[in-house]
Amino acid sequence: MSASDGPIPHVSQSGAKTGSQQQHPPSSKAPPPIVAVTQVSRPFFTSSELKYLLQQTIPESKKVLYSQKKHQVFQFVFQLIKTVKFPLRVLATTMNYYQRYFLFNKWEESTSSGTNGTTGTPTSVQEAHELIIKQHERDPFVIAMSCLLLASKNEDCIKKLKDIQVVGNKLRDIDDQDSKGLYLDFQRKAILNIEFKILQVIKFDFLNGSTMNTSVDQLLVQFCKKLGIDYIHTMYSWLVSFDIMSTPLCLMIPSHCIAVAIIIITLNVKPKDIVHKFNRGEQQLSSHDLNVILESLDCYSQFRCPETLVNEGIIYVLDYYVHNMNYSILNEYMPAIDADTGKEQIFKFMDLKSRFNDLKILDEASCSERDMLRQDYYLKPWDYSLSAKGCSRFMLGNKRARFELELQFEQEYKKKKVSEVSSV
Amino acid sequence: MTTGNSGSPISRYTKDRKVGEGTYAVVYLGKQVNNDRKIAIKEIKTGLFKDGLDMSAIREVKYLQELHHINVIELIDVFTAHNTNNLNLVLEFLPGDLEVLIKNTSVVFKPSDIKSWLLMTLRGIHHCHRNFILHRDLKPNNLLLSPTGELKIADFGLARAMGNPNEDLTSNVVTRWYRAPELLFGAKHYVEAVDMWSIGIIFAELMLRTPYLPGKDDLDQVDVTFRALGTPTEQNWPNVSNLPLYNALKVYPPPSRQELRNRFSAATDTALNLLCSLTELNPGKRCTSTQALLHEYFTESPAPTLPSELPKNDVAGGDSDDDEPENKRRKV
């Protein structure tokens, strides 16, 4: 800020829509108008909102390419966090940021950022440097490193950016050692530029729907313990959570709901014969025991999970395995043919899916139509230059308030039902 | 999605005066234009440094956005301003802090005043702890005082959510004089008890009007702490000897009740009981914020002074615009 005196024109705009970009009307006395925008964070989206956003950033023809690249990038991040010894929750947050980034930023197929082969002919050295930085910024691996940097800071794991860069570049077989350290410097600038973009995409909301422990895998193990689930079934749940970690489900429902959804699936699948090395001696729970746990499980009173959100998670996870079982990590730990049914494992998920067909999931009436989505200012492409032109104000979203409202309706509905029954 | 504050008036802030500058932020005083409320703006430099947005800024935003309590500083707004990539945190303006007051020998503390400050500190920290947040840097300098006498916990730059069972935390937290014994021993797993220890030491400082355990360096801190409170042993703290830095200790006996009475001559027996349970060496036995709040000390006479009647710094004089020197001292 150059001038320390004088007012900072700052507007908390009063429009009914938030996340909008509204021009502040110039008053007669005021100096030139300054753009002021209120940004409300939105940690979760419905599936139709996600679909709509992705249509804007990834052309239909490149969808497959995007997911292939995403898979590669996530493999890279996984190796990277293993090398620098970050806990798994950093990986989960990184994947969340990466997928969130491409909801609001165009995905471009990039040429390798290692080469300086830019198309335009730069007129000055500075311009040439800027071109190189821009090129780095398009590289999904560099974007991933930026996501990792912010995720590690948010998850209280401190590591110098340079160390992350060096390890990352080594994993990709990129020679980043030049005499002046130019490569690392350009890459660093690109990473920091992207970091500021991610900060705007998440609207400076570091809570991601919960104040503490948003890591599904850790919540899951704690929940299993609380429910008295044995090692082998906890392990199965954990494998599922590891598969699901790289999917966009984390953009749709909060992590504790994902954890409960996975546990409910595990209790229904009742897996046997997981290939594992540990706790061989431990007594396994019988299918009767698992049924008892399943019967007594109450999403809301035990884990504060609204049922519709858990159902949303269940359907998503089942769909995932119906389509991707052969590529999943879970698949590597299961025998090809299930001993009970004599069929392939995938049939268990298909069977479950048909049984769960009538689960009540989120009502998307308010966001199923394209026209409605188009009216949602939040989903408009975000103009990064705006923060340079004016002020943007960042606030926490009130999505949780919405969940509470849903719950309230649900409880009132239940009460009504009970009173109806008792009156009869 | 509709906004919670739809229909709220246009709010503007002014940046009137720069009051401090640190490595990653500049602090300005200003006003919220629509209601003349005084505010402090912390402008955080981003992108300037080699590692991007500073972690303490992330922590401050992350935890203060969530915590709302009368005894915790309020984060009013977060925004980026034109022309820069800098992040602005608008905080409520708090003119004084407890450290300045403790050092101001012209102000007399009544036992009921001390009780009131301790009570407000405990209420604030109780709110943090019930939201699973550790502050990790409690000291008189971070306990700010509002013009109406309310005490508010500030500076969440070191705060973090409670650790997971299998996770290592850094023991290099909390300003040295207020560092709990488990941290002095380099423990990698610790809980809310580290904050409770700091509060115990602040309680002692309020009674003594001078720092209770002022170690000159990290090694000296160990010596000063245990000379005052006794060296922990396997008897009173099982497995303490397994902590990384538990070695080559000089063994001091724990202080007798009489010694403590002499040290805190003005304290009642109940006050001493509370002090002892806050400064319990073994973190497992140290009292929690709930236990402390329910302690007999708060129900026995005299009742805590009302915040508005608490002593204030006279140096500042009538016009609170002049209390800038105090703020300058505050680290950013």
Distance CA A348, CA A327 (A): 16
CB contact under 8 A, B80 and A391: yes
Q: Assess contact for B121 and B289: CB atoms under 8 A.
A: no
End-to-end CA distance of chain A: 70
Nearest partner of A131 among A139, A143, A141, A121, judged by Cα: A121
For residue A164, the enclosing domain spans 47-201
Which residues have CB under 8 Å from A368's CB, separation 6+?
A48
Query: Is the CB of A25 inside 8 Å of chain B's CB atoms?
Result: no
For residue B184, the enclosing domain spans 96-309
* CATH number of domain containing B114: 1.10.510.10
Query: Is the pLDDT score of B316 beyond 80?
Result: no
Q: Let me know if residue A335 belongs to a domain.
A: yes
Which residues have CB under 8 Å from A42's CB, separation 6+?
A19, A203, A378, A397, A399, B1
- In a shared domain, residues B185 and B142: yes
Q: Let me know if residue B332 belongs to a domain.
A: no
- In a shared domain, residues B223 and B140: yes
- Please tell me whether B23 is known to bind a ligand: yes
> What band does B47 get if pLDDT is binned at 50, 70 and 90?
low
Query: Is the CB of A365 inside 8 Å of chain B's CB atoms?
Result: no
CB contact under 8 A, A162 and B7: no
Query: What pLDDT sits at residue A235?
Result: 92
Of B11, B47, B88, which is closest to A192 when you measure between CB atoms?
Answer: B47
Q: Which residue has the higher pLDDT, B222 or A422?
A: B222
Which tens digit of pLDDT belongs to each residue from B241-275?
Answer: 999 999 878 899 999 999 999 999 989 999 999 99
Element (H, E) at A8: strand A7-8
Query: Is the CB of A398 inside 8 Å of chain B's CB atoms?
Result: yes
Please list every residue in chain B whose beta carbon sits closer than 8 Å to the beta carbon of residue A397: 1
| Mean pLDDT, residues B203-210 | 96
- What residue type is assigned to position A96 of the chain? N
Distance CA A237, CA A220 (A): 7
Please list every residue in chain A whose beta carbon sits closer than 8 Å to the beta carbon of residue B162: 212
Distance CA A204, CA A208 (A): 10
Percentage of residues in chain B having pLDDT higher than 90? 63
Residue A343 per-residue DSSP state: S
Which tens digit of pLDDT belongs to each residue from B269-300?
Answer: 999 999 999 999 999 999 999 999 999 999 99
- In a shared domain, residues A194 and A230: no
- What residue type is assigned to position A409 of the chain? F
Of B14, B82, B167, which is closest to A7 when you measure between CB atoms?
Answer: B14
Q: Which residue has the higher pLDDT, B120 or A281?
A: B120
Nearest partner of A158 among B58, B191, B313, B194, judged by Cα: B58
DSSP A265-290: HHHHH-------SS-TTSPPPPHHHH
Order of strands, edge to edge, in the sheet holding B143-145? B96-97, B143-145, B151-153
Distance from CA of A82 to the nearest CA of B (A): 15
Q: Let me know if residue A6 belongs to a domain.
A: no
Nearest partner of A93 among A261, A321, A255, judged by Cα: A255
Point out the domain boundary residue: B67, B93, B119.
Answer: B93
Query: According to the 3-state scheme, what is the secondary structure of chain B?
Result: CECCCCCCCCCCEEEEEEEEECCCEEEEEEEECCCCEEEEEEEECCCCCCCCCCHHHHHHHHHHCCCCCCCECCEEEEEECCCCCCEEEEEECCCEEHHHHHHCCCCCCCHHHHHHHHHHHHHHHHHHHHCCEECCCCCHHHEEECCCCCEEECCCCCCEECCCCCCCCCCCCCCHHHCCHHHHCCCCCCCCHHHHHHHHHHHHHHHHCCCCCCCCCHHHHHHHHHHHHCCCCCCCCCCHHHCCCCCCCCCCCCCCHHHHHHHCCCCCHHHHHHHHHHCCCCCCCCCCHHHHHCCHHHCCCCCCCCHHHCCCCCCCCCCHHHCHHHHHHCCC
What's the structural domain count of chain B?
2
- Please tell me whether B21 is known to bind a ligand: yes
Query: Is the CB of A154 inside 8 Å of chain B's CB atoms?
Result: yes
Query: What pLDDT sits at residue A35?
Result: 63
Distance from CA of B70 to the nearest CA of A (A): 19
Of B12, B62, B80, which is closest to A392 when you measure between CB atoms?
Answer: B80
Query: Is the pLDDT score of B96 beyond 80?
Result: yes
- Please tell me whether B205 is known to bind a ligand: no
Point out the domain boundary residue: A330, A357, A384.
Answer: A357
| Mean pLDDT, residues B299-317 | 84
- Please tell me whether B332 is known to bind a ligand: no
- In a shared domain, residues A264 and A314: yes
Q: Assess contact for A396 and A41: CB atoms under 8 A.
A: yes
- In a shared domain, residues A77 and A176: yes
Q: Let me know if residue B72 belongs to a domain.
A: yes
Distance from CA of B328 to the nearest CA of A (A): 16
CA distances from A290 to A96, A224, A297, A302 (A): 32, 12, 11, 17
Point out the domain boundary residue: B93, B112, B146.
Answer: B93
Order of strands, edge to edge, in the sheet holding B75-80? A7-8, B13-21, B25-32, B37-44, B87-92, B75-80, A391-395, A36-40
Distance from CA of A293 to the nearest CA of B (A): 25
Of B52, B61, B80, which is closest to A206 when you measure between CB atoms?
Answer: B61
Instruction: Tell me which residues of chain A, numbers 193 to 222, contact chain B at a CB-CB cutoff of 8 Å.
Output: 193, 195-196, 199-200, 204-207, 211-213, 218
Q: Assess contact for A215 and B163: CB atoms under 8 A.
A: no
CA distances from B167 to A88, A110, B186 (A): 11, 38, 14
CB contact under 8 A, B52 and A150: yes
- Please tell me whether B170 is known to bind a ligand: no
Q: Assess contact for B264 and B271: CB atoms under 8 A.
A: yes
Of B8, B11, B15, which is closest to A4 when you measure between CB atoms?
Answer: B15
Which residues have CB under 8 Å from A236's CB, separation 6+?
A266, A269, A271, A274, A330
Which residues have CB under 8 Å from A239's CB, separation 6+?
A274, A329, A330, A333
What's the structural domain count of chain A?
2
- In a shared domain, residues B42 and B133: no
Q: Let me know if residue B326 belongs to a domain.
A: no
Distance CA A159, CA A166 (A): 12
CB contact under 8 A, B50 and A206: no
Query: Is the CB of A191 inside 8 Å of chain B's CB atoms?
Result: yes
Strand partners, A7: B14
- In a shared domain, residues B85 and B209: no
Q: Let me know if residue A373 belongs to a domain.
A: no
Please list every residue in chain A whose beta carbon sits closer than 8 Å to the beta carbon of residue B12: 7-11
- Please tell me whether B20 is known to bind a ligand: yes
Which residues have CB under 8 Å from A263's CB, separation 6+?
A220, A223, A224, A227, A229, A237, A297
* CATH number of domain containing A82: 1.10.472.10
Neighbours of A94 (CB within 10 A): 28
Q: Assess contact for B121 and A423: CB atoms under 8 A.
A: no
Please list every residue in chain A whose beta carbon sits closer than 8 Å to the beta carbon of residue B56: none
B137 catalytic, yes or no? yes
Please list every residue in chain B whose beta carbon sits closer than 8 Å to the beta carbon of residue A199: 46, 53
- In a shared domain, residues A155 and A240: no
Please list every residue in chain B whose beta carbon sits closer than 8 Å to the beta carbon of residue A10: 11-13, 77, 79, 81
Nearest partner of B278 among B204, B175, B190, judged by Cα: B204
Q: Let me know if residue A166 belongs to a domain.
A: yes
Query: Hey, of B27, B35, B51, which one would you mutate to test binding to chain A, going by the most A CBs within 10 A of its CB?
Result: B51
Residue A361, classed as helix, strand or coil, is: coil
Q: Assess contact for B137 and B174: CB atoms under 8 A.
A: yes
- In a shared domain, residues B59 and B174: no
With a cut of 0.95, is the ipTM above it? no
- In a shared domain, residues B161 and B236: yes
Query: What pLDDT sits at residue A406?
Result: 60
Q: Let me know if residue B2 belongs to a domain.
A: no
- Find out whether the peptide bond into A248 is cis, omega within 30 degrees of 0: no
User: Which residue is associated with the tokens 């001091």?
Assistant: B252
- In a shared domain, residues B87 and B130: no
Please list every residue in chain B whose beta carbon sits closer than 8 Å to the beta carbon of residue A384: none
- In a shared domain, residues B170 and B274: yes
Options B137, B155, B195, B323, the catalytic residue: B137
Full pLDDT tens readout for chain A, 424 residues: 333 333 333 333 333 333 334 344 444 444 455 667 777 888 888 888 899 999 989 999 999 999 999 999 999 999 999 999 998 989 999 999 999 999 999 888 765 444 444 455 667 888 888 888 888 999 999 999 999 999 999 988 888 999 999 999 999 998 888 777 889 999 999 999 999 899 988 888 888 766 556 688 888 999 999 999 998 899 999 999 999 999 999 999 989 999 999 999 999 998 887 877 776 667 788 889 999 999 999 988 888 888 889 999 999 999 999 999 988 999 888 888 887 788 888 999 999 999 988 888 877 776 777 777 777 777 877 777 765 666 777 777 655 455 566 667 667 777 877 777 777 6
CB contact under 8 A, A196 and B46: yes
